Structure 1
Amino acid sequence: MTLFYELRKHGKLAAKRNPMYDKNRFGKYAMYAMAAFWAGYLIFFGTTFAFAFDTNSMEPYHIMNSGLIFILALDFILRFPLQKTPTQEVKPYLLLPVKRNTVIDFLLIRSGLSSYNFFWLFLFVPFAIITLPKFFGIWGVITYCTGIWLLMVFNNYWFLLCRTLIGERLWWICLPVLVYGGIAAGLLIPDKSPIGDFFINLGEGYIKGNLLAFVGTLVAIIILWFINRKMMAGLVYDELNKVEDTKVNASEYKFFEKYGEVGEYMRLELKMLLRNKVCKNSLRMVIIVVVAFSLILGFTDIYDGTGMKNFITVYNFAIFGILFLLQIMSYEGNYIDGLMSRKESIYSLLRAKYMLYSIGILLPLILSIPAMVMGKIEVLTAFSWAIFTIGFIYFCLFQMAVYNTKTVPLNVKLAGRQNTGTGLQNLISFATFGIPLLLYAVLKMTIGETATAWMLLAIGLVFILTSRFWLKNVYDRFMKRRYKNMEGFRDSRQQ
């Protein structure tokens, strides 16, 4: 236990010594405010469900428990954009009499005790306080909420297993697809679903403090713990010993040569995305999510509400940029000294990134065609969001090139330093979704939907046509801070 405390202390000290720590206090406070907002949102829903589910046919907690599987599935999906694979810099501790598995155990404990696993209690605690005391007293509220927390911990380790496997081999995406496909079949095909009955009984077992319900959940958590422990131990060993995949894409992308120096940097960016483990896995995950959202939006009625349609459309167009441009120059921090040795190479790199990620917008635009054909999205709306993303949203994201000073490793995922986003990065990430949606809602109420689409299109075009000017401005500001930024990149670079 003393060792776990020391590792936790070292992690906090490493975060405080991060070059970006003192620069983004406002962003961190904004993130706390955002978390408080969503907590209040869940409290509102928990209170509403408590009264809405009060029917004569079933008790409210039975109705809530029958839907636990849907909450767990939603929690699993939300973890992809919100939760990263936990990391721990292992190498320094191997020089001491510390077992590698002990460090991995600490990593898994930290993941299980993450504040995210407590967040759903903002929904369940008010629901339980309203519905349970009249039958089971305060003790029933405590045991029920404890059981829900254990389910979220189980879901955490299940997500960690799937995310890690998918990161290593893309075909592991079949594992959650088969699991949730089987659950959907179990819910829809039989007249009376055994899965719904199982969760009703499990929730009631938590409420009554049934030892079997708690022991069964703990056993499931322990099984997933050991599977994750075994898998991570092998992956950490490969990373520490630099065991790499020998299959390399031999393409040199020679069609970029005709674009001169900018083409060379476009080729460099493409190689970085397709050859390095961290970038390649992030690209895979975002493509999977975008394809899934596009298919759901185009062929189902789940997200037919105007707000959700706009959110998914903005998400599909902006996520590629957010994932890579939010950390712009952080990947280049691994070789920033070489880039700085040539005059204006950073400006060419910025132009290459802008061109490449602008071309990348074609993928979500093509994937939105089924939704346009089915009448879910207007053609003008889809094109306006695409142009607005390339213009205004990318303009905002490229400003991070001036302020990012932390190197992000290209191939180390588990054995590296903690790679948590800074407060400013998180704030920009949320603003990238929030501001366009708020702007769309305000404009739609004032000038109508068609005029709003044209307005977004015009705003995007203005920023696209002036891209050379604001990219040059980003470059000039970066060069004024170059020594400070290079010092940060060197200090945070993993040896």
Structure 2
Amino acid sequence: MNFNLISHQHKAAMRSPIYGKSIGIKLLMGFIFFIISLELLGFAFFVGTALAKQGGDPLNELLSYFIYFFAAMLILRSLMQKLPTMAAMPYLLLPIKKSRLVNFILTKPLYNILNIIPIIIIVPILIPLSAYLTSGQVLLILASIIICDLFVNYLAIYIKRVQIKYEIVFYIFLLSIVLFGFVDHFNLIDIKSYSASIFQSMIEQPVLLLVPAAMFLGAYFLNYRLLFGNFSLEEFSKGTASAKGSLSKLTYFERFGKIGEFMMLEMKMIVRNKRSRTLLMISPLFALYGLMIYPKPDMLEEIAMIFVIGVFMTGSFMMNYGLYLFSWESAHFDLILTSNSSYLNYLRSKYHLMVLSSLIMYFLVLPYTYFGFTILLVNTVALIFNIGANTFFLLYFACNNNKYMDVSRGAAFNYQGVSSQHFFLMIPLMLLPLILYAPFGIMGYSTLGLAFIGTIGLLGIIFHEKLLIAVTKRFIYKKYKMAEGFRIKS
């Protein structure tokens, strides 16, 4: 029976119209994963060599970082791992036990490509440490890594499934990550010593491996119970009505006329569809990127570096959303073209929505002023440049995208609507301000460089109406080609 189910899934994938059209994207992503794997192998071997050379107790030092590793894997899986699914409705009409179908779905994560990352990292680290370890210790380390990663795997799946219906779960998860980083940064709890103690105990007393094994089985059971109880309920994937209808009570934007109506419709689309909602929920995570850079005093002297980070953080949602600016509405793009509204108002609404998202992200990163006034200055200039320049850059080049996108599908490993231009478009978005700043930075006039970039952004804000008119002409020129492409559903 399981073999037949696997065969059906394979045939469905091979016969899908998406398979042939997305093979280029799959090859590109496969190549990128191959390069990343080689880099991870090299980095892991370097870490193992460094641990072996420093003497002392390299095993204890290695084990002290295991909790950080699994926390990183939990975040990675939560962001990138696709939920295991199958077209279950046809099987419900056949004499197949629902429990068998649920178990089949829950075994699919065991074949996820992310599962090899722990092995790719830990094996090269252990090779230089082989002189300090017995074969039994090596096997126990590998066993603990595999079992704990299985627990993390199914925990991430459970969190993602529950947050579909209760989005508050995502924010609790996000808050937990922030608290973990806060506790670690200010050394409120010695996480490294706890990590070393826990995993050292597993190696010295293998019977303790039953604890993470029980945690894995518990996570599997939670997923099983959740799927079994909601296997054929459509409302589970749609979320609660109150959560999706909350925006209907927001009437503030109605005072802006047609522009406000367009913005309201766009925000409803973002909240009500899985792919756009996922992007909305993960955008605040990009604000945490500063924690990797700002606490290092020497990095604050690199104005160019913190400026690029400022552009990225204040414009994270704007950039990710703007890359597919018209594809989000590809399902009803023809209706937009035939509606009794001006295209200029339509583009104004998108411009103001991107401006609003950048302002929200700016206020989220304001607490980084704690690390210095320079950060506040740089982030302010980055915000002005994003609003006055990058928004129009995205509006202009979004007119070239004519690939259909189903916004109801998940975002993880979903390359529908993605083309090579999206990867290359991110380069000028991030590098253009750096190129503009470079001559001033080389000559040692950092403040003058920031003033120059800020002036460009201010000019874009002052003349935003003229720029929107120019983009509207581009949109009118490209609208028929865009509409033709959006009609091709894959």
Query: TM class by shorter-chain length?
Result: 0.7 to 0.9
Query: Which position in structure 1 is the counterpart of 2:474?
Result: 473
Q: Does 1:229 align with 2:224?
A: yes
For 1:482, the aligned partner's letter is A
Preserved contact between residue 303 and residue 309 of structure 1 (Cα < 8 Å)? no
- Which of 156, 159, 169 in structure 2 is aligned with 1:159? 156
Q: Look up the SS of the partner of 1:130 in the other structure.
A: coil
For 2:196, the aligned partner's letter is G
Alignment of 1:55-70 (within 5 A): 58-70=56-68
Query: Which position in structure 1 is the counterpart of 2:295?
Result: 301
Q: Deviations over 1:213-232 (max 9, x none)?
A: 65544432222122123224
Q: Percent identity?
A: 21
For 1:339, the aligned partner's letter is I
Gaps of 5+ in 1: none
- Which of 88, 107, 110 in structure 2 is aligned with 1:109? 107
Query: Which position in structure 2 is the counterpart of 1:424?
Result: 420
Q: Deviations over 1:295-326 (max 9, x none)?
A: x589x837973588556534422321244334
Query: Which position in structure 2 is the counterpart of 1:339?
Result: 336
Preserved contact between residue 132 and residue 140 of structure 1 (Cα < 8 Å)? no
Alignment of 1:35-434 (within 5 A): 35-54=33-52, 58-97=56-95, 102-132=100-130, 135-136=133-134, 144-145=141-142, 147-172=144-169, 173-174=171-172, 177=175, 188-189=188-189, 193-202=193-202, 204=203, 212=207, 215-239=210-234, 245-247=240-242, 248-249=245-246, 251=248, 253-257=250-254, 259-275=256-272, 279-280=276-277, 282-287=279-284, 289=285, 296=291, 301=295, 305-306=299-300, 309=306, 312-342=309-339, 348-372=345-369, 374-375=371-372, 377-395=374-392, 397-398=394-395, 399-400=397-398, 402-410=400-408, 419-420=414-415, 422=418, 424=420, 427=423, 431=427
Preserved contact between residue 20 and residue 406 of structure 1 (Cα < 8 Å)? no
Preserved contact between residue 45 and residue 127 of structure 2 (Cα < 8 Å)? no
437-446 or 70-79, larger mean C-alpha shift = 437-446
Q: Deviations over 1:353-392 (max 9, x none)?
A: 2221212211121223222354164333112222333355
The 1:2–1:357 alpha-carbon spacing in structure 2 relative to 1, beyond 3 Å, is same
For 1:226, the aligned partner's letter is F
Could you tell me how far apart the structure 2 residues matched to 1:472 and 1:21 are?
31
Q: CA deviation at 1:126?
A: 1.6
325-334 or 172-181, larger mean C-alpha shift = 172-181
Query: Which position in structure 1 is the counterpart of 2:13?
Result: 12
Q: Look up the SS of the partner of 1:487 in the other structure.
A: coil
Q: Does 1:487 align with 2:485?
A: no
Could you tell me how far apart the structure 1 residues matched to 2:131 and 2:449 are?
50
419-428 or 354-363, larger mean C-alpha shift = 419-428
Could you tell me how far apart the structure 2 residues matched to 1:235 and 1:304 are?
53
Q: CA deviation at 1:430?
A: 6.0
Q: CA deviation at 1:256?
A: 3.8
Gaps of 5+ in 2: none
The 1:84–1:258 alpha-carbon spacing in structure 2 relative to 1, beyond 3 Å, is same
The 1:57–1:227 alpha-carbon spacing in structure 2 relative to 1, beyond 3 Å, is same
TM-score, normalised on structure 1? Answer: 0.77
Preserved contact between residue 328 and residue 404 of structure 1 (Cα < 8 Å)? no
Could you tell me how far apart the structure 1 residues matched to 2:296 and 2:49 are?
24
Question: How many equivalent residue pairs?
Answer: 474
TM-score, normalised on structure 2? Answer: 0.77
Could you tell me how far apart the structure 2 residues matched to 1:444 and 1:16 are?
51
Preserved contact between residue 90 and residue 100 of structure 1 (Cα < 8 Å)? no
Could you tell me how far apart the structure 2 residues matched to 1:274 and 1:370 are?
27
Q: CA deviation at 1:351?
A: 3.2
The 1:191–1:268 alpha-carbon spacing in structure 2 relative to 1, beyond 3 Å, is closer
Could you tell me how far apart the structure 1 residues matched to 2:288 and 2:399 are?
30
For 1:366, the aligned partner's letter is F
For 1:317, the aligned partner's letter is T
Preserved contact between residue 392 and residue 460 of structure 1 (Cα < 8 Å)? yes
Could you tell me how far apart the structure 2 residues matched to 1:477 and 1:97 are?
52
Q: CA deviation at 1:435?
A: 3.9
Could you tell me how far apart the structure 1 residues matched to 2:325 and 2:85 are?
21
The 1:179–1:33 alpha-carbon spacing in structure 2 relative to 1, beyond 3 Å, is closer
